[in-house]
Chain A
Amino acid sequence: MARVRPAVLLSTVIAWGLAVVWALPFIGLVMVSLRPYSEVLIKGWWSIGGAHFTLENFKDAWSNPMYSVERGYINSLIVTIPSTIAPILIAALAAYAFSRFSFPLKNYLFITLLVIMSMPQQMSVIPLFFMLKELHLLDRLAGLILVHSSWGLAWITFFLKNFFDSLPREMEEAARVDGAGELQIFLRIVLPASLPALASVAAIQFTWVWSDFFYALMFLISPENYVVTLQVGTMKGQYHLDWGLLSAGSIFAMLVPLLLYAGLQKYYVRGMIGWTAKG
């Protein structure tokens, strides 16, 4: 029998302990969402003996006209997809310029970027509110897309600039000698070679926008415009709180980012192996 060193055993036990503590609220959430609320209320979600499992909560959460998650999903997708793609495209161009070219005021512009990044969202909300109102984009998904996209620009530019700085210049020089112009180099060499970085940025920005509650709460007013995070909020009735329903709604809301991460994780690994050329 292989002997296990006490230090290894101890650290394994601690790691598992932490993992369980970490996952416990989520496990609770899943249990509550899968069982009739009355049963959870009486027995507690942790008692598994004689438990009944049902998808009622999910069905109700998805399609109840009062707080349909379906509607919220559609709105969330309408907001999140452009708010992920648009800033990445624009920021990639800006980041490439910051990384490779010299132009007047470059350093000041970059510092401005850092300052914007360090600003809390709450500070910008009132000016943004009036701005959107002036533009007649208040209570419109387009307005929220605009806000999220611009908010994403700063950190994505910063992130991608750092990544572009780390790409070997010779790769672009080889393309230049091979006859590629600036735009071709960017589109056919730099962007594809940056796919792992772009995937990380996309995952983070997507999750951020999808999970946003604050901006959505401030800038969306009519319930038919609610994104899924706001929709889940409305499930909490004024006098009655159905935890089963709320749990199902929450799981719906976090499902998309979770799936995205699961899907992209494989991709990161593949990207890292296939991309890095040995020198």
Chain B
Amino acid sequence: MAVVELRNIVKRFGRVTAVDGVSLRIGDGEFYILLGPSGCGKTTTLRIIAGLEYPDEGKVLIDGVDVTNTEPKDRDVAMVFQNYALYPHMTVYDNIAFPLMIRRKKLGLTRSEIRERVMEVAKMLRIEDLLSRKPGQLSGGQQQRVALARALVRRPKVWLMDEPLSNLDALLRGSRRS
């Protein structure tokens, strides 16, 4: 985990100012929630932290390092997308394992260690029965849990979650909190 700092972030899409001078500091290990009406710029702010959008003004710092112009893959950030963005051609298992497989060498993980970690999050999110299905064969809530699992399986500096619980039933929410 790490410290995330936004300094005066401004992002415009043509005439629309999606993010207007946001500054914030999220402490190490802190659980921080952005609340706001639809269209106020929550997703855009997360995308800027992830490196998927570059701000027109301002700076993004992770652990004191200026990453404003760093590529997403070099930021060590995990993200759950609002529309899940699962890989449609891969099974649930391969979806969850993807972030570990793609950097297996760098992370120094063996296949069995990856399997262990995938099973661990799958159990936590109660999707262990779905591992061999494709995303197209899942309900909305199940897809969302797979997207969540794909982020939780990593040990990144920052977890970004764009409305990660909107589709989860209350029962599961309870078990996530405990």
Contacts and interface: CB of A to CB of B under 8 A. Distances in A.
A273 B136 contact: yes
Contacts of B73: 176-181
B140 interface: yes
A176 B150 CA distance: 13
Interface string A255-279: 0000000000000000001111111
Given A273-B136, A276-B136, A277-B135, A175 B87 contact: yes
Given A275-B136, A278-B143, A174 B79 contact: yes
B46 to A, nearest CB: 10
12 contacts: A168-B85, A170-B81, A174-B79, A175-B87, A178-B154, A179-B106, A193-B89, A273-B136, A274-B89, A277-B84, A277-B143, A278-B140
B132 to A, nearest CB: 12
Interface residues of A, number: 25
Given A273-B136, A274-B134, A274-B137, A171 B87 contact: yes
Interface of A: 168, 170-171, 173-181, 184, 188-189, 192-193, 195, 273-279
Given A177-B52, A179-B102, A278-B143, A170 B83 contact: yes
A171 B85 contact: yes
A276 B81 CA distance: 17
Interface of B: 50-52, 71-73, 77-79, 81, 83-90, 98-99, 102-103, 106, 134-138, 140, 143, 150, 154
Give the dominant DSSP class at A's interface.
helix
A277 B89 CA distance: 9
Contact of B150 (A168, A173, A178, A195): A178
Given A173-B85, A279-B83, A178 B102 contact: yes
Given A274-B136, A278-B136, A176 B87 contact: no
Given A193-B87, A275-B88, A177 B79 contact: yes
Contacts of A176: 52, 71-73
Contacts of B89: 192-193, 195, 274-275
Given A174-B79, A177-B50, A179-B73, A277 B88 contact: yes
Contacts of B137: 274
